[in-house]
Amino acid sequence: MLSARQNVPKALTVAGSDSGGGAGIQADLKTFNTLSVYGASVLTAITAQNTVGVQGIYALPVDFVEQQMESVLDDITFDAVKTGMLLNAEIIENVSRLFKSRSINHLVVDPVMVSTSGSRLLAENAIFALRKHLLPLAEIVTPNISEAEVLAEMKIKSLMDARDAARKLHTLGCKNVLVKGGHMPVDGRGNPVDVQLADGNSWVVDTLFDGDEFVEFRNRFVATENTHGTGCTLSAAITAGLAKGLKVRDSVEKAMLCVSKGLASSFSIGKGGGPLNHFPPVMNLSSEPSYRGGSFVQLLKSAYPQEWSDYVNHEFVRKLADGSLPIECFKHYIRQDYIFLRHYARANALASYREHDMDDIIKAAQIVTYIGMECQMHVKYCADWGISVDDLEATREATPNLAYTRYVLDRGMSGDRLDLRVALAPCLLGYGEVGVRLANDPATKREGNPYWTWIQNYAKDEFQAAVREGEELLEKLFDDMVPPTNHRRIKQLCDTFRQATILERNFWEMGLSLVP
């Protein structure tokens, strides 16, 4: 049996120090600790740094950097290692040599070049060394847009450019490339937005490439000046995930949720941009859902990230994207969706009944009217697939459909109006996310894809506007009805969202597996 000492996941960061505490090894070690990973560090440089900027950098002698590395590597077997600021070519070459001689597992390379405040953290002559010696050893490299431009020797002005840069970086030998999109937010159609003008309607798209497949991670842009240490924290969280045995994609996804939660509850500590929030109750994904400010909708999604990912990345969705979903599976799905819409209208009618203010009653009733119009369009859409109204009316309700719709109605009857809205939310939010992602993904098949029209319907401005209205309503109800310190109530709501998300996933599975 392994001892408790051996069971602890262990990670090493090789990076510079931030005297202000928001980035560098300070951010790395805070992140490791929050995610229940033991952290060790090797210093490459010491900075005089605060929230305003970097006032000075002192590179440690290369032989002392090497001595630190040999000291910890001789004693501790690390499950994952990350690099941050390496400063110059000599340090990069020596660190790379030691990594190679030690057969380091799961190396995460954060190619730190410029600080958030604009100070240069990597010498010009070090870029060649980084490309030649360190990147070929990396399990994953995590450049932001500016860093990817330098390493790939190209300009990045679009999501397609980000993919091209990822391809180029992959040819340097790293197994996975994550091009971070925080410096290039986009609108709902994937068009870049000036970062100074970006708001809650904008998206951050991070592009992961493993040499065969692209995966895009889309998260709402968090409008805050407190972004110091975001890149360090993300790469450290990825390292922590790898140290705990997660696959690269799962590590990246969970790390992004950590950063999103940290940004949403960030705070100012000085005269400049502060750090994101590293406190364990905020960032630790294994803890109970706990609200610390920011977006309630984001909390719902991030409380149980695996369930949300299983839903929006389901095999049914992937087969819609490449057009490989069997026709009979799609027909079964849209026949059941007709029945679902009927109960969806009932649930929203119940929501109208639950409201107290006349304006809110009318708004909820208008949603029912909209669902009625959507149902009429659905009937016409089904006709295009050879399914008549009589066929729809004769369709027997499948068990997963019954389980889902009755769960939503039960939450509306046994709970309050927020319980009902939360139970309804995964449908609206998930379809909105899937529609935008597939419509903007260059890998989605368009010509000859029988499901392209379906994808477009959920990517349209009208549907995306409905998603935003739904999000705003959830935020308002939460603010009005739930004290932020009522952790028990918050967990109840997150659990409701989780169960409805699982039932949404089962709805996809029903179509894929032809569940009666």
Residue 61 CA, distance from chain mean position: 38
Q: Within a domain: residue 505?
A: yes
Lowest mean pLDDT among 84-98, 298-312, 458-472: 298-312
Q: What is the mean pLDDT of residues 337-358?
A: 93
Q: Which domain holds residue 406?
A: 296-513
pLDDT of residue 265: 73
Alpha-carbon distance of 43 to 14, in angstroms, equals 6
Q: Which position among 22, 84, 188, 231 bears the catalytic label?
A: 231
- Residue scoring higher pLDDT (156 or 201): 156
Judge whether 230 counts as a catalytic residue.
yes
Question: How do residues 37-81 score in pLDDT, each as one tens digit?
Answer: 999 999 999 999 988 888 999 999 999 999 999 999 999 999 999
Amino acid at 105: N
The predicted pLDDT at position 272 comes to 86
Percent above pLDDT 70 for the chain:
95
pLDDT of residue 2: 44
Where does the pLDDT of residue 288 fall: very low under 50, low under 70, confident under 90, or very high at 90 and above? Answer: low
> E strands of 302-409, at which residues?
none
Residue 4 has pLDDT above 50, yes or no: no
Active site residue 231: yes
Q: Is residue 276 part of a domain?
A: no
212 within a domain of the structure (yes/no) = yes
Measured at the CA of 470, the angle between CA 465 and CA 476, to 5 degrees, comes to 125
In 33-166, where do the E strands start and end? 38-49, 54-59, 80-83, 107-109, 140-141
Look over the chain and give the mean of its residue pLDDT values, rounded to a whole number.
90
What average pLDDT score do residues 189-195 get? 86
Q: How far apart are CA 216 and CA 177, in angstroms?
A: 12
Is 382 designated active site?
no
Residue from 232, 258, 382, 427 carrying the catalytic annotation: 232
Asked if residue 343 and residue 238 are part of one domain, the reply reads no
148 shares a domain with 209: yes
Q: Which of 265, 283, 306 is the last residue of a domain?
A: 265
Residue 43 near residue 67 (C-beta atoms within 8 A): no
**Residue ending a domain, choose from 210, 243, 265:** 265
Report how many domains make up the chain. 2
With cut-offs at 50, 70 and 90, classify the pLDDT of residue 287: very low
99 and 222 inside one domain: yes
Angstrom CA distances, 440 to 160, 181, 446, 455, 458, stand at: 10, 15, 11, 10, 12
124 and 249 assigned to the same domain: yes
- Band of the pLDDT at 3, cuts 50, 70, 90? very low
Residues 454 and 317 in one domain: yes
Mean pLDDT of 206-219: 91
Nearest to 421 by CA among 508, 485, 479, 342: 479
Look at residues 381, 383, 353, 382 and name the one whose alpha carbon lies nearest to residue 367.
Answer: 353
305 and 196 fall within a common domain: no
Cβ atoms of 431 and 424 within 8 Å: the answer is no
229 carries an active-site annotation: yes
CA distance 356 to 320: 41
Lookup: tokens for 77: 């077997």
Residue 283's pLDDT is 54
272: in domain: no
Can you give the pLDDT at residue 24?
94
In a domain, 275, yes or no: no
Do 131 and 200 lie in a common domain? Answer: yes
Give the pLDDT band of residue 293 (cuts 50, 70, 90): low
User: Which is the catalytic residue, given 82, 180, 261, 301?
Assistant: 180
Say how many Å lie between the first and final Cα of the chain, rounded: 47
Half-sphere exposure at residue 444, Cβ-oriented, CA atoms within 13 angstroms: 21
108: in domain: yes
Q: What is the CATH number of the domain that holds 409?
A: 1.20.910.10
Q: How many CB atoms lie within 10 A of CB 276?
A: 29
In a domain, 185, yes or no: yes
Segment among 24-28, 272-276, 328-332, 381-385 with least mean pLDDT = 272-276
For 134-180, write each residue's pLDDT tens digit.
999 999 999 999 999 999 999 999 999 999 999 999 999 999 999 99
Q: What is the pLDDT of residue 119?
A: 61
412-456: per-residue pLDDT in tens? 999 999 999 999 999 999 999 999 989 988 889 999 999 999 999
Report which of residues 186 and 279 the model is more confident about: 186
Poorest-pLDDT segment among 102-106, 221-225, 279-283, 483-487: 279-283
Put the strands of the sheet holding 107-109 in their side by side order: 54-59, 38-49, 10-18, 80-83, 107-109, 140-141, 176-179, 203-209, 214-220
What integer pLDDT is reported at residue 1 of this predicted model? 39
Q: Give me the percent of the chain exceeding a pLDDT of 90.
A: 66
Question: What letter does residue 408 receive in the DSSP assignment?
Answer: H
Which of 31, 227, 233, 239 is catalytic? The answer is: 227
**pLDDT at position 211, please?**
95
Q: In angstroms, what CA-CA distances link 357 with 148, 377, 438?
A: 51, 31, 38
Encode pLDDT of 241-256 as tens digits: 999 999 999 899 889 8
pLDDT given for residue 347 in this prediction: 96
Q: Is there a catalytic annotation at residue 233?
A: no
Q: How far apart are CA 432 and CA 426, in angstroms?
A: 10
Please say if the pLDDT value at position 118 is more than 60.
no
Say which amino acid occupies 57: I
In a domain, 3, yes or no: no
Can you say how many angstroms the Cα of residue 208 is from the centroid of all Cα atoms in its chain? 11
Per the annotation, the verdict on 227 as an active-site residue is yes
**Which position among 181, 188, 229, 241 bears the catalytic label?**
229
Q: Which of 83, 116, 230, 444 is catalytic?
A: 230
Q: Tell me the pLDDT band of 212, cut-offs 50, 70 and 90.
A: very high
Domain boundary among 245, 265, 285: 265
